[in-house]
Amino acid sequence: MALSPVVLGVESSCDETGFGIVSEGKLLGQGLASSASKHAEFGGVVPEIAARAHLDAVVPTLRIALQDAGLEPKDITHVAATSGPGLATAVHVGLAAAKSIAWALDKPLYGVHHLAGHAAADTLEHGPLPEHSIILIVSGGHTSILEVRDLVRDPIVHLGDTLDDAAGEAFDKVSRLLGLGYPGGPAISKAALEGDREAFRFPRAMLRAGDHPYTFSFSGVKTAVARTVEQIERTGAAVPVADIAASFEEAVVDVLVTKAVKACQEKKLSTLVIVGGVAANRHLRQKAQEQCDKLGIELRVPPPHLCTDNGAMIAAVGDLLVRSGAEPSGLGIAADPSAVLHGAQLPVPA
């Protein structure tokens, strides 16, 4: 009888070094190291610092994942790694580590698209994705509405993407404007708890975009916050940080939920999956649940620890690829920092 695959996933696209181990859709163990604190003084991720942090973290984080799963390296049957998109220097470190592991263990290697990993993260909590669903990916670098059938077998259809800043990027920039620090998402959410969401009416860009109903733009709301802060400071008054944070969060969440729910309605699909770092946002989860409950849409959102970048989500994609019979990418897979999401597995360069 064939043994179940035991897939090691490697993630290093930004400032988290992640290893996860998945078998038959179940998370066996994981290890995660973050270099976020090293980037805080710069207000954002510095690629060179991230890459060095990945180098330092690779071996100890791998050991943590194996220990957490109660496994040894010889128990791994397949390796999957983020090969794009992401920070070039960061992606290269994780992919090189994955190649080394696959080569040393003589195991197949799969090059995985980072955003497919976010989508697959939900399967570790709620089981297989439905046959046809809408997926809203909201992270620091990407905001997209996708129409997804079989995640690893079928092409992934982009219904809409952001034209400029991703939602998470806008959170980081507004947090910096308000002096709340980095990363911006948790800082804004914490400040917003004490604020009035109706204190300021910030713009909801492209909320009624006729020809592009699922396209996003967040640079305008970021600029509106900057101008508001500047105008208040000119008067000599104290900036109402909590009110601005709450009003900004409300504007972003309003756009995200409205467009995602509209996609479900117009495509006549009954499941909405929200994934990515910003999916950990409490207000987004609450508002999305309220709207989905009203319309009879099933909402699936992974727990916060599976929303941010992690190796478990990459292992989840690798596990799906192995079980679908997909051909391994092999050691010839190259990093593609600008990879567009068309499929879960990235192609091997010709």
> Which pLDDT belongs to residue 1?
40
Q: Are 284 and 257 in contact (CB under 8 A)?
A: yes
Closest CA to 121 of 9, 288, 16, 31: 9
> Which pLDDT belongs to residue 45?
86
Instruction: Express each pLDDT in 183-208 by its tens digit.
Output: 899 999 999 999 999 999 999 988 87
Sequential pLDDT tens for the chain (350 residues) = 457 999 999 999 999 999 999 999 999 999 999 998 888 778 788 989 999 999 999 999 999 999 999 999 999 999 999 999 999 999 999 999 999 999 999 999 999 999 999 999 999 999 999 999 999 999 988 999 999 999 999 999 999 999 999 999 999 999 999 999 888 999 999 999 999 999 999 999 888 767 789 999 999 999 999 999 999 999 999 999 999 999 999 999 999 999 999 999 999 999 999 999 999 999 999 999 999 999 999 999 999 999 999 999 999 999 999 999 999 999 999 999 999 999 999 998 87
> Which pLDDT belongs to residue 3?
76
Identity at 346, one-letter amino acid code: L
**Cα–Cα dist 90/111, whole Å:** 15
Q: Are 318 and 112 in contact (CB under 8 A)?
A: yes
- The structure's pTM equals 0.95
Closest CA to 214 of 266, 153, 179: 266
Sign of CA dihedral 115, 342, 298, 22: negative
Q: What are the residue ranges of helices labelled H in the chain?
A: 36-39, 47-69, 88-105, 114-121, 123-126, 167-177, 184-192, 219-235, 241-266, 282-295, 304-307, 311-324
Q: Which residues face 272 on adjacent strands? A: 134, 299
38 burial type by CB count under 10 A (0-12 exposed, 13-18 middle, 19+ buried): middle
Does residue 273 sit in helix, strand or coil? Answer: strand
